Amino acid sequence: MSVYILSNRKIIRHKGERADSFSNDEYSIPNFRIAKCDFDDYKEPTAQSKKRKDYTNRNILNYQLFSEPEKQGYENVMEVLLSEKGIKESTLTASNLGGTQRMFYESYKNMSSTKERSDVLIFIHGYAYDFDDELQAIIDLKNYS
């Protein structure tokens, strides 16, 4: 199961971080930024880490920010899918897709890769969540699935 973050928060670099992340500020921007969660190396924080509160941002859950798409719209998604099926020639690949294009492409690939039923869960966090709270809620949801 893939888990994506859709956020209207600013992209920033937190102090001491090497990679860009989402802001904890309440300030928002008019369009979404997309990230894909990575549960492969997830480890529950220790009680001591929780007490010291040194488990924030990527220490809660690792994720990859998707770049902004080179071209707006979803024609590129269709072009890549048709190319992969050998229906249409194209130089575009999935790596050319960014933002929601990449998310919808990956969701389609995941859902169509099985003959069994496949679901999508969209979690919209409540009001006054900061980004760290959102990451913790995603982990809680993942643990229940």
pLDDT at 103: 92
The lowest-confidence range among 52-56, 106-110, 114-118 is 52-56
pLDDT at 130: 83
Q: Which residues pair with residue 65 across a beta bridge?
A: 35
Place of tokens 């990679």: 19
Which letter, b or e, does each residue of 118-136 get, where b requires 16 or more Cβ atoms within 10 Å of its Cβ? eeeeeeeeeeeebbbebbb
pLDDT at 124: 77
pTM given for the model? 0.77
Q: pLDDT tens for residues 44-97?
A: 888 887 777 777 888 888 888 888 887 888 999 999 999 999 999 999 999 999
The structure tokens listed for 114 are 């099985």
The structure tokens listed for 75 are 């024609």
